């Protein structure tokens, strides 16, 4: 522990063979970060400049991509600095802040995916009521809800964690998270553990149930409809469903490997702990850019125009 001006510093001890592969790790991480920034920004730009895409479905897509950028910026800059540093340290307040922002990113992702499922459900199952149910005001309220509810739930957890005293000062991670901070703390942490479990369950299970219900209803409607209707519904629903399943599985793997003791090698744990800020931020803009025709056509037009200049 280093204490300067009453600030406690923690060591991020999760890096593997950093001295040997430092520049390789840095190059790969930097390339991933640039790809994430560019791919998400391009799709966001296309949605922003075309008024025909200023609809609820594409607004939710834009919010999801902005959340991916938010999650990436929370992790990658600090990680890049650590990869080039002799020691990987972080102050306790900064560690709590990073933990809060990472959890907020994950919580907002699930809420936004549920909002998108609601939009698709109303559009396909109740088309005559769509414009009355999904208005501009409704979209704004949903987006506010998607941010405010995770902020409150996670903020309380971070405040509870900040009350515990530390017995150890090494986190076997390369990023901060509340669970690791609790594990290096002293004394009884049962209240924090119960609250953390509550937040985890209610951040995943209700969204999972709602999305399964929505897509079950959509599937029933599609089976009763024409082939053209099924094709159109598939084009708008498939990217969202794949992204939801992808993110849910990644988060579940991270929760399981972090909380259940096992013989999983540390390098595997390390890779799994980063998947949620590698795969979704890279995968989401590709899925929406190539699978949603309205966005794909404008992306093609954008690149053709740039190539002709």
Q: Where are the domains of the chain?
A: 3-308
Amino acid 222: pLDDT: 83
| pLDDT band of 7, cuts 50, 70, 90 | low
CA-CA distance, 78 to 19, in Å (whole number)?
17
With tokens 């809420």, the residue in question is 111
| pLDDT band of 78, cuts 50, 70, 90 | very high
CA-CA distance, 162 to 154, in Å (whole number)?
12
Q: What percent of the chain has pLDDT over 90?
A: 27
> pLDDT (tens digit, 9 = 90+) per residue, 21-61?
888 889 999 999 999 999 999 999 999 999 888 988 899 99
Mean pLDDT, to the nearest integer, of 125-146?
89
Which segments of the chain does DSSP mark as H helices, in order? 18-49, 56-83, 92-125, 130-133, 136-162, 178-183, 190-223, 227-259, 266-274, 279-291, 293-308
Mean pLDDT, to the nearest integer, of 216-245?
82
Report helix angle 227-259 to 266-274, nearest 10: 140
CA-CA distance, 248 to 209, in Å (whole number)?
12
Look up the CATH superfamily of 3-308.
Answer: Rhodopsin 7-helix transmembrane proteins (1.20.1070.10)
CA-CA distance, 82 to 70, in Å (whole number)?
19
Q: Which residue in 132, 153, 122, 152 sits closest to 218, CA to CA?
A: 122
If phi over 0 gives left and psi between -120 and 50 gives alpha, with beta otherwise, what is residue 5? left
Please state which of the ranges 1-5, 89-93, 101-105, 167-171 shows the lowest mean pLDDT.
1-5
φ and ψ of 13, to 5 deg: -95, 20
Amino acid 221: pLDDT: 86
With tokens 């509870």, the residue in question is 160
Highest-scoring range by mean pLDDT, 86-100, 169-183, 227-241, 262-276: 86-100
* Mean pLDDT, rounded, of the chain: 85
| pLDDT band of 2, cuts 50, 70, 90 | very low
Distances (CA, A) of 173 to 2, 14, 146, 283: 18, 4, 28, 24
Whether 183 and 261 have beta carbons less than 8 Å apart is answered as no
If phi over 0 gives left and psi between -120 and 50 gives alpha, with beta otherwise, what is residue 17? left
Mean pLDDT, to the nearest integer, of 190-198?
83
Amino acid 44: pLDDT: 94
> pLDDT (tens digit, 9 = 90+) per residue, 252-297?
887 777 777 666 677 777 777 788 888 889 988 988 887 788 888 8
Whether 59 and 119 have beta carbons less than 8 Å apart is answered as no
Report helix angle 136-162 to 56-83, nearest 10: 30
Mean pLDDT, to the nearest integer, of 126-141?
89
**Bridge-partner residues for 171, per DSSP?**
12
Convert 20-35 to b/e letters by CB count within 10 Å (16 or more is b). Answer: eeeeebbeebeebbee
Q: Decide if pLDDT at 1 tops 50.
A: no
């Amino acid at each position: 522990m280093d204490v300067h001006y009453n600030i406690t510093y923690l060591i991020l001890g999760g890096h593997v063979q950093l001295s040997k592969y430092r520049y390789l790790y840095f190059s790969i991480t930097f390339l991933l970060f640039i790809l994430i920034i560019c791919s998400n920004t391009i799709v966001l730009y296309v949605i922003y400049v075309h008024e025909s895409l200023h609809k609820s479905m594409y607004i939710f897509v834009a919010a999801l991509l902005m959340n991916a950028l938010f999650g990436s910026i929370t992790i990658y800059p600090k990680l890049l600095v650590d990869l080039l540093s002799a020691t990987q340290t972080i102050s306790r307040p900064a560690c709590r802040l990073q933990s809060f922002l990472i959890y907020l990113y994950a919580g907002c992702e699930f809420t936004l995916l549920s909002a998108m499922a609601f939009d698709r459900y109303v559009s396909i199952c109740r088309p005559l009521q769509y414009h009355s149910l999904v208005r501009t005001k409704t979209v704004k309220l949903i987006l506010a809800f998607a941010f405010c509810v995770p902020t409150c739930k996670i903020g309380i957890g971070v405040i509870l964690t900040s009350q515990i005293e530390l017995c150890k000062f090494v986190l076997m991670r390369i990023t901060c998270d509340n669970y690791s901070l609790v594990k290096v703390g002293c004394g009884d942490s049962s209240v924090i553990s119960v609250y953390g479990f509550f937040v985890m369950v209610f951040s995943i299970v209700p969204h999972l149930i709602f999305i399964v219900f929505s897509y079950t209803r959509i599937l029933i409607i599609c089976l009763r409809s024409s082939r053209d209707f099924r094709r159109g519904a598939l084009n708008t629903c498939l990217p969202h469903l794949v992204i939801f399943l992808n993110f849910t599985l990644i988060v579940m793997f991270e929760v399981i490997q972090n909380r259940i003791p096992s013989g999983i090698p540390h390098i595997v744990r390390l890779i799994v702990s980063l998947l949620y800020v590698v795969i979704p931020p890279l995968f989401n803009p590709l899925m929406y850019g190539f699978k949603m025709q309205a966005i794909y056509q404008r992306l093609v037009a954008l690149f053709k125009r740039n190539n002709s200049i």
